[in-house]
Amino acid sequence: MSSAATTTYVLRGARPLGGEPVDLVLSGGVIAEIAPVGAARAGSEGDGTVVVDATGLVALPGLVDLHTHLREPGREDAETIGSGTRAAAAGGFTAVHAMANTTPVADTAGVVEQVWRLGRDAGWVDVHPVGAVSVGLAGQQLAELGAMADSAARVRVFSDDGKCVDDPILMRRALEYVKAFDGVVAQHAQEPRLTEGAQMNEGVVSAELGLAGWPAVAEEAIIARDVLLAEHVGSRLHVCHLSTAGSVEIVRWAKGRGIDVTAEVTPHHLVLTDDLARGYDPTFKVNPPLRTAEDVEAVREGLADGTIDIVATDHAPHAREDKDCEWAAAAFGMTGLETALSVVQQTMVDTGRLTWADVARVLSSAPARIGRIDAGEHAQGRPLEVGEPANVTLVDPAARRVVDGAGQATASTNTPFQGRELPGAVVATFLRGRATVLDGAPVPAGADARGVRA
Ligand SMILES: NC(=O)N[C@@H](CC(=O)O)C(=O)O
């Protein structure tokens, strides 16, 4: 894979973080120049320079997802590292963290290095493997955290996501262990005994439908325990896909106490509610489950006031046979990489609750910081400044599109936004100055300057 881009791009009239229009010049893999519109020194076409008409487009630092399921190795019928990372680029991402619940589980240096290499060779985004906390995600024995941290994949985020590290002693040991290399434990907060057989949020709708409920307390009890454990051992905790009003309250309290905790919310929990289960369409079956309108309001508020640090997709592609079945038999999970930015625009920007600068924080700089990928040669989530790596996403906030799962880059079609109109579209994505998306379409490596709006 070539990491150094050869084409110079002038993004004419782009609005960094939604501010005043400028020319952004990407050259040699970095942001080479920021000039008044039309005044960029590299502004003429020819000799490898491509001018992109970015009038009206918002420029963001390349998006970083802390929570993606790429399914390879093991379930390449649902997604591969190639298809999943192409979907990520299409969604404006330049880096993703790949969750460990693959087959085999990413619980050894060998598996995480393999995922890292396949990501590097695909070349769409930087792939940072997440290491499992426990061997086989079985919750019994700590995995080789140190070996994964020391491997070529340089793992810093550890999670049994899909399963909760419910044993408090194992959780304590993991929190203590990762301190040695400034790692973080990302917890899937789900008390297993309180959620046995659970199919959806426990509440009015589950009672009506006769489906076993997943009570809010099953999430909140684990978060409460874990923030206290993190405080006790002085370690860093990250809460995956927080979904209830009570969880927001607990994290707010913990931060107020100075506990080193960060939290994420998914795009779907920012907008969808458990009412959607009424149609028994398993597209809406997800873990944690869609909650109530009050919970949606609470997570929006938490994201707006900084209690929730980031938006992470929890992109969970599933093969058709795992979703085209009755609700109880269907797999948990929904895709999200190609709709995340639009949902954040709709729920948070268009409602006046976040600015585009805030979006850059919750979808780029903060997740990069939590994953400790914000420094070094392949730094992500950096500000749009001269000399910084040219990881840039161009968004058209005025665009509107109707979501069609079949037309997406992901290999799976389980998008919960099928047929919905969403605002905003990713027009271009640049990974260290190389275009991975132009004119809204993925550009394979080696076909850099195709399809440009010049
Ligand atoms: N988020 C999901 O609904 N599904 C995830 C794992 C999980 O169950 O959390 C998956 O890997 O499919």
The DSSP code sequence of 55-113 is TTPEEEEPEEEEEE---TTT-TTT--HHHHHHHHHHTTEEEEEEPS-SSS-S-SHHHHH
Four-residue CA torsion sign, 103, 124, 91, 95? positive
Does the beta carbon of 79 lie inside 6 Å of ligand 1?
no
Does residue 319 surpass a pLDDT of 90?
A: yes
pLDDT (tens digit per residue) in 347-362: 999 999 999 999 999 9
pLDDT value of residue 1: 41
pLDDT (tens digit per residue) in 394-411: 999 999 999 999 999 999
% of the chain exceeding 70 in pLDDT: 96
Q: Has residue 39 been placed in a domain?
A: no
Does the beta carbon of 188 lie inside 6 Å of ligand 1?
yes
Taking CA atoms only, the protein residue closest to ligand 1 atom 8 is 162
- Please indicate whether residue 150 is annotated as part of the active site: no
% of the chain exceeding 90 in pLDDT: 94
105, 168, 170, 279 from 135: Cα distances, Å: 8, 16, 11, 38
Q: Has residue 3 been placed in a domain?
A: no
pLDDT value of residue 6: 79
Single-letter amino acid, residue 196:
E
Q: Has residue 399 been placed in a domain?
A: no
* Structural domain that includes position 324: 62-370
Does residue 5 surpass a pLDDT of 70?
A: no
Q: Has residue 452 been placed in a domain?
A: no
Q: Has residue 379 been placed in a domain?
A: no
The atom number, within ligand 1, closest to the CA of 333 reads 3
- Look at the chain and report how many structural domains it folds into: 1
**Separation of CA 162 and ligand 1 centre (Å):** 5
Does the beta carbon of 300 lie inside 6 Å of ligand 1?
no
Which of 70, 130, 264, 286 for mutating ligand 1's site (highest number of atoms within 8 Å of CB)? Answer: 286
Q: Has residue 441 been placed in a domain?
A: no
For residue 153, give the CATH number of its domain. Answer: 3.20.20.140
**Which residue ranges make up the annotated binding site for substrate?**
69-71, 101, 287, 318, 332-333
pLDDT (tens digit per residue) in 132-157: 999 999 999 999 999 999 999 999 99
Q: Has residue 324 been placed in a domain?
A: yes
The mean per-residue pLDDT over the stretch 355-377 comes to 98
For residue 420, how many C-alpha atoms fall within 13 Å in the half-sphere facing its CB?
A: 14
Residue 408 CA from chain centroid, whole number = 17
- Given the residues 126, 166, 226, 314, select the one marked as catalytic: 314
**Separation of CA 146 and ligand 1 centre (Å):** 25
Q: Has residue 154 been placed in a domain?
A: yes
The atom number, within ligand 1, closest to the CA of 286 reads 3
Does the beta carbon of 71 lie inside 6 Å of ligand 1?
no
The mean per-residue pLDDT over the stretch 416-441 comes to 98
**Separation of CA 313 and ligand 1 centre (Å):** 11
58, 87, 383 from 355: Cα distances, Å: 11, 25, 15
Taking CA atoms only, the protein residue closest to ligand 1 atom 10 is 316
